[in-house]
Amino acid sequence: MALILRGAVKLYYYLNEEIADQRTKDWPLMNTPFPGLFLLFIYLLIVLKWLPKYMEKRPAYDLRKFLAFYNFIQMLCCIYVVYQSLRLGWLNHYKLVCQPVDDGPLALEYAWKVCYAYFVIKLVDLFDTVFFVLRKKQNQVSFLHVYHHFGMVAVAWGMVKWVPGGHSTILVPVNSFVHIIMYGYYLLTTWDESYKQSIWWKKHVTQIQILQFTIMLLHFTVLVFAPECDFPRQPAYILIPQNLFMVILFSDFYYRSYIKPNKIVKNE
């Protein structure tokens, strides 16, 4: 037992101190993983237990005006990180195929305005689930939804902690661009309820999400087949199965929502 404990302590020190990026270690929530894990634990309790129980015998809240504001702000935040990621990296000096962790004159600004800003946005995204529960849309609090939101916070935290720049941060502009479209759709639904009934919108938003995870899967696979690339391989070993899993989950959702119903109708 003592040997196991010593090994665990050594591993924790290695992950949290030795290989952590020293530029970001003192930023809020970055010093250790425990505050972030606590927030995620509270998130799960709120959306899966406490809030559904609170709403059990209460009417759904009308949040349309607030959600219009929320979705608009989310769009602005996503536009900001896409712009900064392109200005400071991907349209500046970053290479698409193999980009090492940046330590140049723009590196700290990139880490703060792109990676850390993205992490904060992913934390705010957790309120999406809270709003579903308050509106009594519990059917939308699916495993896919909760897993995706939980996982994106963890991935964004790891990016800031270990590699706040370089190859893996293509995730920021790609995912944020998808969220601009997604929150734009949500904003439209707060103005006109008919958009909620439009299969066209929902179908293509899901297609864009599947395309996003496919692009990320291919982007991280490059690291496995480019041994000369001076970027840590460990993120790829985590993000390749993560993105493959997301492609499978979203593809399954797409099939069950948009293809299977059409087959049933044709058979009838």
Using DSSP's 3-state secondary structure scheme, residue 7 falls into helix
pLDDT for 7 equals 78
- Global pTM reads 0.91
pLDDT-above-70 percentage for the chain: 93
How far CA 188 is from CA of 47, 68, 78, 151, in Å, comes to: 25, 8, 17, 27
Taking alpha carbons only, the member of 148, 248, 251, 263 closest to residue 206 is: 251
pLDDT for 200 equals 63
pLDDT for 88 equals 96
Taking alpha carbons only, the member of 191, 188, 229, 223 closest to residue 205 is: 188
In which residue are the tokens 């993120």 written?
Answer: 235
The token pair at 31 is: 């010093």
260, amino acid identity? K
pLDDT tier, 227 (very low <50, low <70, confident <90, very high otherwise): confident
pLDDT for 15 equals 81
CB burial of 123-141 (b: ≥16 within 10 Å; e: otherwise) equals bebbebbebbbbbeeeeeb
Calculate mean pLDDT across residues 134-142.
92
pLDDT tier, 141 (very low <50, low <70, confident <90, very high otherwise): very high
Distance CA 72, CA 31 (A): 32
**Catalytic residue ranges:** 148
What's the length of the chain? Answer: 268
Least confident of 85-94, 192-201, 248-257: 192-201
CB-based contacts of 160, cutoff 8 Å, min separation 6: 21, 24, 27, 30, 111, 115, 116, 119
In tens, the pLDDT along 2-40 reads 777 777 778 778 788 888 999 999 999 999 999 999 999
pLDDT for 268 equals 53
